[in-house]
Amino acid sequence: MPSTVAPPRLVLKSTESVVMLARVYPEDTNMPIIVKLDDLLHDRRMTLTDLAGRVGLTFANLSILKTGKARALRVSTLEAICQALGSEPGDLLRFEAEPHKG
């Protein structure tokens, strides 16, 4: 019998003055949002450690984002990364209609 995968649900989270919209997927599926942080870092000849120092995030948290394992992204974090890299949000994120197999 083929297994059915539950559809994602949208969750609105609010902490202090930051609002995050997270698409929550079952643990065995990947999100269709692809983070291209590795490409941007390579193009700018910057390491993840350098970026962590510039944006005030830990290496571990940026690594989770870079590997696509993050389930949510604060707008303030996106803004800080874009500012540090001199990029736009669209440079960092890509939508794939079919979830990325990886």
Q: Over the stretch 56-101, which tens digit does the pLDDT of each residue have?
A: 999 999 999 998 888 889 999 999 999 999 999 999 999 887 755 5
pLDDT at 17: 39
* Tally of CB atoms within 10 A around 94: 13
Produce one character per residue of 18-57: b if its CB has 16 or more CB atoms within 10 Å, e if not: eebebeebeeeeebeebbbbeebbeeeeeebeebbeebeb
Which amino acid, residue 80?
Answer: A
Asked whether the whole model's pTM tops 0.85, one would answer: no
pLDDT digits (tens, 9 = 90+) for 15-43: 443 444 444 444 545 668 889 999 999 99
Distances (CA, A) of 100 to 24, 34, 41, 81, 86: 15, 8, 21, 23, 26
CATH numbers and ranges of domains, the chain: 32-102 (1.10.260.40)
